[in-house]
Chain A
Amino acid sequence: MCLRTLVARLSVGDSRWMASSAPSTTAFDPTADFFRSLPGREPDPLLRTAKGSIRFDVVDAGHVEHWWVSMSGGTVSVSRGNRRADAKMVVERDLMDRLVTGRANAMAALLRGAVIVEGELGLLLAFQRIFPGPPTSAQPGP
């Protein structure tokens, strides 16, 4: 199913797609690792001016996993579940894994239509600043 159809269904509240998150038991889960690491971080100056919430609807083989992120003063809190948010991003699991590990770029993905954003785009623009750079890029300078 394409993301667009999925978005349409989500917005009309199709219960099949509102199903609770798939249990994630796999050892390798970069998306979950990333979100779980956020609350423990020092307040991030890159996020200090961002105030609001983003819900990530991560789509994986017919299941939707919800990650609800709230930013305030550089501190990020995270919860699971299908809560209302100021911005919503719908993204395939594989792409989300690549975004949070620096192997894909959020802005390019947005232009490509590979992620779909509704609501305040500025919040997502702010949030994506904490995604890492490509692991293959050399570390010049300091």
Chain B
Amino acid sequence: MGENAVRILEGNTFVVSDERGDLEASPVDPTGLFSYDTRFLSTWVLTVNGERLSSLSVDDLEYFEAQFFLVPGTGTVYQNADLSVIRRRTVGTGFVEQLTILNHKAEPVDLQVRLTASSDFADLFEVKDALQKKGSYDRRVADRRLTLGYQRETFRRETVISATGPVSVDEDGLTFEVHVAAHGSWRTEIAVAAVLGGFETATKPGRQTESSARQHMARGLDKWLTRAPTLTCDWEALVATYRRSLVDLAALRFTTRTMPGHALPAAGLPWFMTMFGRDSILTSLQALPFVPELAETTLRALAARQGTRVDDFRDEDPGRILHEMRYGELTAFEERPHSPYFGSADATPLFVVLLDEYEKWTGDTRLVRDLEVEARAALSWLDTYADLQGNGYVAYQRRNEKTGLENQCWKDSWDSISYHDGTLPGFPRATCELQGYAYDAKVRAARLARLVWRDESYAARLERDAAAFKRRFNRDFWIEDGGFFAVALDHDGRPVDSLTSNNGHLLWSGIVDRAKARRVVEHLMGPRMFTGWGIRTMAEGEARYNPIGYHVGTIWPFDNSFIAWGLRRYGFKVEAARVAAGILEAAEFFDGRLPEAFGGYPRELTRFPVEYPTACSPQAWSTGAPLLLLRTMLGLEPTGEHLVVDAALPEEVGSLELLDIPGRWGRVDAFGRGRISVSGRRPKRPDRLAGEKQ
């Protein structure tokens, strides 16, 4: 896949092509038409009279469609091309391509237009890891339709290609014998359908047309944008970032087959267009003030798939919320455990956190009632299956040692959790933010138990447990000499003493003693962690610190958005505004689309944020970060039946209005004016902290 890859998507179907619209996949790159984690087209090449075409321009009309303007020939100089070729492609369940040829000459032309097609039916995991196929391929021509098939035992996947108008179909593609009048044009429409045997997508081959697909999508997107609150402010780039976030979030919507018409956020393109417990929950939390319906679908979909049994292969326990769902061949044959896989320790408490936050915003007690059993099962999981160290803390250790995940927290790379000296702790590991989430889950569940479940004794017990848990946590994880919380307790229950951004998540969860908060904030906003753009995942000075190390020094926008929320929770408004300003300024450099992570270099050194080399963009929780930062800066907090606004905005925002914020109050507006001087510089001294109020 080159630099100029063009990506369009809808749900978990996406197409990655070159700038001509052609697909020529190598075994290891994510080029092609993908649906349900399977590549349905790996070759799709257009020729006119046997000649490849050249791209004049590409128009990414919307996230679900692109238009390619082409001319015949592959030379570097186009001299008075006599023909123009326009491919307009719309993704649905498969894709539809409208092919138009314009003849610019004063005499008619006869052309042979050909599309060559083939598919390797690779599982997305195979593309990632370059694995070999075990089944067999077949091709069939019938009813002017080409069917590419793949069969392994009962597993069947098909790509069905058909076209409107006269076409001759062979096993390798479609050929059109075309006569175009002088200054005339010719047009056809080609449908490519992805068919899952025994698990069909709703659309049958040939039913979808390009225009109907496009109208359907466009209506959906318009409705989505219209229903979201309107942002106006003096900082134009922020408005652009906001719009980009809403559109990308629309693109990342994923619909499960059991809840048609309802969407939840998938994690990211191209590798993660599926349901993830952690990513779907955190993105739904970020987006709650803007598009609350994502949270409802996320909660219902995850609840329906909550763990119910002990299954080592899937790292499943009763009450556990899933980590990742996949639909491809390797999952089907249990060569991968994602049917679904449960190896995440944070999704379960975060599920309860989201349920409560959702009710606070929407007043939808019905959902809280519907999910009572699942919420209680999740809370019970925290005290039982997750207590792997026998000390009451939430810990993880995979039971699937072959294909399971080692680190089951958001920092899931192999070296993310280390001691100050760089050595790695054994398992089970109890990372600190998991304790924060667990504490928060209990506090919030107590509220729901009183309000909706009407179980006072359960509420009281949860509160007692939470208070005791908080006391112990502040004793056991606190590193007094350093003035911060250990990133984890190791297999022996001893603190893992590196300084990491996980401290910020603890503020968000409210588990930090007020007396300790100031010292934690001094670290987060100090030179070892805050670069001017944001807060690093790991502090400079730790043995494994590396400004371009995935979880050991880069800056993650999503991480920073939750830390900013935490800063506000403890009354550090100025610091929260400073973090928000840094991340939102960085977004400008990425045209409003924040990457998964960027380099942890000091801002003065690089002057611009250095993107971490990763193939995943847009990524859901990066997309959600500007939304949560807006909420944080405006100090939006649902309180009873009202929305409290307590803005603390950086100067550069100027005046800001967020209109029609949806919630239990109907729609309300929030206003603010930027008064906090941040100017992109890191604070010189920690004594500039604004201090805790609230």
Stretch at the interface among B26-34, B303-311, B585-593, B632-640: B303-311
Contacts of B332 in A (CB 8 A): 108, 111-113
Contacts of B399 in A (CB 8 A): 137-138, 140
Interface positions of B from 262 to 314, Cβ below 8 Å from A: 304-305, 308-314
Interface positions of B from 354 to 399, Cβ below 8 Å from A: 370, 373, 384-388, 399
* Contact between chains at A141 and B333 (CB < 8 Å): no
Q: Can you list 12 pairs linking A and B with CB atoms under 8 Å apart?
A: A4-B197, A46-B373, A105-B314, A111-B332, A112-B332, A113-B155, A121-B257, A121-B258, A122-B259, A131-B309, A133-B311, A140-B310
Interface positions of A from 76 to 124, Cβ below 8 Å from B: 102, 105, 107-108, 110-117, 121-122
Q: Please, how many angstroms separate the alpha-carbon atoms of A129 and B388 in the complex?
A: 24
Contacts of A138 in B (CB 8 A): 310, 312, 399
Q: Please, how many angstroms separate the alpha-carbon atoms of A105 and B307 in the complex?
A: 13
Q: How far is the CB of B1 from chain A (nearest CB, A)?
A: 27
The contact string, 1 if C-beta is below 8 Å from chain A, for chain B 314-347, is 1011000000000110011110000110000000
* Contact between chains at A134 and B313 (CB < 8 Å): yes
Q: Please, how many angstroms separate the alpha-carbon atoms of A91 and B385 in the complex?
A: 33
Q: How far is the CB of B5 from chain A (nearest CB, A)?
A: 28
Among the listed A48, A49, A102, A107, which residue makes an inter-chain contact with B309, where contact means beta carbons less than 8 Å apart? Answer: A102
Contacts of A125 in B (CB 8 A): 258, 304-305
Say whether A40 faces chain B, with CB atoms less than 8 Å apart. no
Contacts of A46 in B (CB 8 A): 308, 373
A113-B197, A125-B304 known; 7 new pairs, CB 8 Å cut-off, are: A46-B373, A108-B334, A111-B328, A111-B332, A112-B155, A112-B333, A134-B312
Q: How far is the CB of B201 from chain A (nearest CB, A)?
A: 12
* Contact between chains at A137 and B199 (CB < 8 Å): no
Say whether B606 faces chain A, with CB atoms less than 8 Å apart. no
Say whether B153 faces chain A, with CB atoms less than 8 Å apart. yes
Contacts of B305 in A (CB 8 A): 125
Chain A residue with minimal CB distance to B300?
Answer: A49
Say whether B154 faces chain A, with CB atoms less than 8 Å apart. yes
Chain A residue with minimal CB distance to B37?
Answer: A111
Q: Please, how many angstroms separate the alpha-carbon atoms of A120 and B257 in the complex?
A: 9
Q: Please, how many angstroms separate the alpha-carbon atoms of A131 and B198 in the complex?
A: 21
Chain B contact surface mostly? loop
Q: Please, how many angstroms separate the alpha-carbon atoms of A49 and B310 in the complex?
A: 22
Known contacts A108-B333, A117-B198, A132-B309; is-contact A140 B258 (Cβ 8 Å): no
Say whether B156 faces chain A, with CB atoms less than 8 Å apart. yes
Contacts of A113 in B (CB 8 A): 153-156, 197-199, 332
Contacts of A115 in B (CB 8 A): 198
* Contact between chains at A142 and B197 (CB < 8 Å): no
Interface positions of B from 197 to 213, Cβ below 8 Å from A: 197-199
Q: Please, how many angstroms separate the alpha-carbon atoms of A139 and B316 in the complex?
A: 11
Among the listed A48, A134, A140, A142, which residue makes an inter-chain contact with B373, where contact means beta carbons less than 8 Å apart? Answer: A48
The contact string, 1 if C-beta is below 8 Å from chain B, for chain A 16-42, is 000000000000000000000000000
Contacts of B154 in A (CB 8 A): 2-3, 112-114
Q: Please, how many angstroms separate the alpha-carbon atoms of A70 and B267 in the complex?
A: 36
Chain A residue with minimal CB distance to B198?
Answer: A113
Say whether A136 faces chain B, with CB atoms less than 8 Å apart. yes
Contacts of A3 in B (CB 8 A): 154, 198
Q: Please, how many angstroms separate the alpha-carbon atoms of A115 and B154 in the complex?
A: 9
* Contact between chains at A111 and B199 (CB < 8 Å): yes
Say whether A10 faces chain B, with CB atoms less than 8 Å apart. no
Contacts of A114 in B (CB 8 A): 153-154
Contacts of B309 in A (CB 8 A): 102, 131-133
Q: How far is the CB of A46 from chain B (nearest CB, A)?
A: 6
Say whether A45 faces chain B, with CB atoms less than 8 Å apart. yes
Interface positions of A from 25 to 79, Cβ below 8 Å from B: 45-46, 48-49
The contact string, 1 if C-beta is below 8 Å from chain A, for chain B 536-567, is 00000000000000000000000000000000
Among the listed B312, B339, B340, B387, which residue makes an inter-chain contact with A141, where contact means beta carbons less than 8 Å apart? Answer: B387
Q: Please, how many angstroms separate the alpha-carbon atoms of A110 and B310 in the complex?
A: 20
Q: Please, how many angstroms separate the alpha-carbon atoms of A46 and B370 in the complex?
A: 12
Q: How far is the CB of B186 from chain A (nearest CB, A)?
A: 39
Q: Please, how many angstroms separate the alpha-carbon atoms of A139 and B310 in the complex?
A: 7
Q: Please, how many angstroms separate the alpha-carbon atoms of A140 and B319 in the complex?
A: 13
Contacts of B310 in A (CB 8 A): 133, 137-140
Contacts of A121 in B (CB 8 A): 257-258
Q: Please, how many angstroms separate the alpha-carbon atoms of A116 and B332 in the complex?
A: 14
The contact string, 1 if C-beta is below 8 Å from chain A, for chain B 152-174, is 01111000000000000000000
Say whether A126 faces chain B, with CB atoms less than 8 Å apart. yes
Contacts of B388 in A (CB 8 A): 140-141
* Contact between chains at A108 and B331 (CB < 8 Å): yes
Q: Please, how many angstroms separate the alpha-carbon atoms of A122 and B257 in the complex?
A: 8
